[in-house]
Amino acid sequence: MKSPELGSIDVQGMTRQSFVVRGAVAAGTVYGVSAVAPFVSEALAQEGGGDVDILNFALTLEYLESTFYEQALKDVKGLAGDAMEVAKTLQANEAEHVDALAEAIKGLGGTPVKPPGVDFGGAFASQAAFLKTAQTFEDLGVGALNGAAPNIKSKAVLGSAGSIVQVEARHAAAIRELNGQPITEAAFDKALKEPQVLQAVKPYVKS
Amino acid sequence: MHDDDTSMQELVRDDSSRKRFLKMMGGTGAAAFSIFVAACGEDEKPKKSGASSSSAAGAGRKRDLEIVQYALTLEHVETDFYDAVIRSGVIKDKALAATAAMIRDNEQEHVDALTAAVKNLGGKPQKPQTSFDSVIKGGAKKVLETAAAVENLGAAAYLGQAARIQSKEILAAALSIHTVEGRHAAALNKAAGKSILPDGAFAKPASMNEVLPQVKPFLKETS
């Protein structure tokens, strides 16, 4: 572990703020405040806006995916066979993810974001173009949730995010096989930071 | 005690699953397990504000070690399985054999990473003794179905532990392995003629108590 101090700060069953502060005080007495401060600020910086913000980030991605497959089923020229079956399944899954995430956000007292405006450009010009973009979205979904999940505070929300990200990984593998690509790039999936993800989806989002 | 400790609490209460668990984890695991149980009990008592964060962090670290060793055991089972399958030459289909070799290499990388993580947490990495003779004797179809089952189980096992992991770094590592297991599971399910999504839109987790009995047939009894 690169920063064992983070582990000692990360205590379950207390509110984050209280244990971050308490942990910092406890750790500071052992290591000296200046040694601990960078880890504490890192931990606080990673907190961002909390679970509702993370869920809304995930919801935006699921809206994008769901709309992508919905439009694909109508617009992709020559969509047939396995590719069409997969598109149908994935569309249904992403719609279920949208509903579940919106419910979870409301459950935490938050307001679900509205679906983003979309423009998928030439992604529906052919089945090959569709599958290529689908692979981008599914791999991105995996990286986005893997990157965000460690910052989730609620154990229940973390469990739901894990349950969704495994399904995204299964989607990614299925699409990659249809593209004749290896099912995974590496033995470890990447964890993407939010700005990286937002940059990657930018071409498809119309503000 | 937090509600997500349930499966470990079941292990504490259920004597037979505890024995199973200890057998798998070997001597060092057993010692660590005892320390964990002690730490866990301590954690249940009302805490004074000053000492609580360090004792809870200590208990969390012990539990992280147990989880990482558990994951390492599963990854050893997977790696050994693909090694045995590849050695046997039972899979004649070239594409499927290539997939098995690729997945085997992924599992080996998981073993290496988790071995290092166990050491980092102050543990002694345990390697189970495995045997897959009965599966391989069953032929290519049986091997493929078992591979799919093992990957689905592995993915569910990681998902079952995610919310129990204390360290952010270990959680991030577990998640990055979890989704790769999910990818393996989807590809092998497809190859076996099964749905890539056996649980639908939401993957189901499995607790240690659900996972370990399913792994047991592949473990050699060691005395």
- Cβ within 8 Å, pair A167-B2: no
Decide: B158 and B204 in contact? Cβ < 8 Å.
no
Please give the CATH architecture assigned to the domain spanning B60-218.
Up-down Bundle (1.20)
A interface test, pick of B7, B43, B45, B53 with most A CB neighbours within 10 Å:
B53
Task: Work out the minimum CA distance from B213 to partner chain A, whole angstroms.
Answer: 22
How many CB atoms are closer than 10 A to CB B19?
12
DSSP A24-90: HHHHHHHH-HHHHHHHHHHHHHHHTT-HHHHHHHHHHHHHHHHHHHHHHHHH-TT--HHHHHHHHHH
Task: Work out the minimum CA distance from B108 to partner chain A, whole angstroms.
Answer: 9
CA distances from A177 to A114, A172, B83 (A): 33, 9, 23
Quickly count helices (H) and strands (E) in chain A.
8, 2
- Cβ within 8 Å, pair B162-A12: no
Q: Provide the residue ranges of all domains of chain B, joining segments of one domain with +.
A: 60-218
Q: Which pLDDT tens digit goes with each residue over A78-92?
A: 999 999 999 999 999
- pLDDT confidence bin for A49, thresholds 50/70/90: low
List Cβ neighbours of B142 (8 Å cut-off, separation of 6 or more): B135
| Per-run averaged pLDDT (10 residues), chain B, 223 residues | 40 40 36 33 38 73 96 98 97 95 98 96 96 96 97 98 96 97 98 97 98 95 62
Residue whose C-alpha is closest to residue A2's, from B158, B222, B169: B169
Q: Give the C-alpha separation, A138 to A118, whole Å.
A: 17
Q: Give the C-alpha separation, B94 to B28, whole Å.
A: 42
Residue whose C-alpha is closest to residue A197's, from A142, A146, A140: A140
Task: Work out the minimum CA distance from A144 to partner chain B, whole angstroms.
Answer: 11
* ipTM given for this complex: 0.78
* Chain A residues touching B179 at Cβ < 8 A: 142, 146, 165-166, 168-169, 189
Q: Which pLDDT tens digit goes with each residue over B44-101?
A: 333 344 445 577 788 889 999 999 999 999 999 999 999 999 999 999 999 999 999 9
- Cβ within 8 Å, pair A184-B61: no
Task: Kindly report the backbone phi and psi dihedral angles of residue A80, in degrees, each rounded to the nearest multiple of 5, phi listed first.
Answer: -155, 170
Residue whose C-alpha is closest to residue A47's, from A22, A10, A12: A10
